[in-house]
Amino acid sequence: MATNLIMLGPPGAGKGTQAERVALARGIPRISTGDILREAVHDGTMMGGSVRAVMDRGELVGDDVMIGIVTERLGRPDAENGFVLDGFPRTVTQAAALDTLMAGRDPLIVLDIVVPEAELARRLGMRMICEDCGVTADGHETAPGRCSRCGGRLMQRSDDSSLVVLERFKIYQRATKPLVDFYHGRPTFRSINGAQTADCVAADLAAAIEALRNGRVNGASGGSPR
């Protein structure tokens, strides 16, 4: 059975952090729509040029663009045996499109990472990323202010200023939180307590995935069940 996973959660919940761990542990690709868009902006592609201002305001890129990106990415061979989606779907329209794309594939496992807003704001206020490779600083940098992976300069993400973060929270509540209702009736949905250390969150996520994959879909697992 393929592990077809969605990480849901507000900005700063730890979707990227956890998606990377799960992808590495399971040998499946992590598909981060935010990273794909930021790479396009960094590379100066036509799409990058058209989404830059939208992202800098903390707003959502249009559904058609996002569905097109994910349709192409999930169609590649490396996604046949599973994937972790980080940052998609973000609207009910995107979720419905994903259901269509999943026809004939193993069911989606949907993990919603829950963290109080004050903690989200604290994390985003402190986050630093590499201006060259985009990786999030992990606190293990050998040279101050430099990326531990490529040596690039560390900077604040362009949408992590406090005003833009507030806008992202608002948009999350309006457009993305309804996805919890969209998915929570499914037996493959779990809420995970994200307000723990990253290692504890990872352990809860792994336990939830294993329980769901083993078919114990009605048992509580991985943090507070809904």
Residues designated catalytic? 15, 90, 127, 157, 168
CB of 70 to Mg ion, least distance (A): 15
Minimum distance between the CB of residue 63 and ligand AP5, rounded to whole angstroms? 7
CA 70 – CA 91 distance, rounded (Å): 14
Min dist. Cβ of residue 123 to ligand AP5 (A): 3
Select the span of 51-59, 97-105, 147-155, 203-211 touching ligand AP5 (CB under 6 A).
Answer: 51-59
| Segment near ligand AP5 (CB under 6 A); pick from 12-20, 23-31, 100-108, 181-189 | 12-20
- Establish if 87 lies at the interface with ligand AP5 (CB under 6 A): yes
Query: Identity (one letter) of the amino acid at 29?
Result: P
CA–CA separation, 56 and 201 (whole Å): 29
What's the closest the beta carbon of residue 50 comes to ligand AP5, in angstroms? 12
Both tokens of residue 160?
């992590």
Closest-CA residue to 9 (of 84, 82, 112):
112
Please count the residues of the chain. Answer: 226
- Degrees, nearest 5: CA angle 110-85-131: 140
Cα separation, 176 vs 173, in Å, equals 6
Q: Is 13 in the site for ligand AP5 (CB under 6 A)?
A: yes
State the residue number with the nearest CB to Mg ion.
16
Q: Name the residue among 8, 28, 27 with its Cα closest to residue 190.
A: 8
Task: In angstroms, give the least distance from the CB of 7 to Mg ion.
Answer: 9
Separation of CA 176 from chain center: 12
With CB atoms as reference, the residue minimizing the distance to ligand AP5 is: 34
Q: Does 190 bind ligand AP5 (CB under 6 A)?
A: no
CA angle 118, 138, 57 (to 5 degrees): 50
Token pair for 147: 């990326």
Contacts (CB under 5 A) with Mg ion, residues 7-26: 16
Tell me the number of residues near ligand AP5 by CB under 6 A: 30
Among 28, 79, 84, 88, binds ligand AP5 (CB under 6 A): 88
CA distance 21 to 17: 7
Provide the binding-site residues for Mg ion, judged by CB under 5 A.
16
Provide the binding-site residues for ligand AP5, judged by CB under 6 A.
9, 11-17, 33-34, 37, 54-55, 58-61, 66, 87-88, 90, 94, 123, 127, 136, 159, 168, 197-198, 201
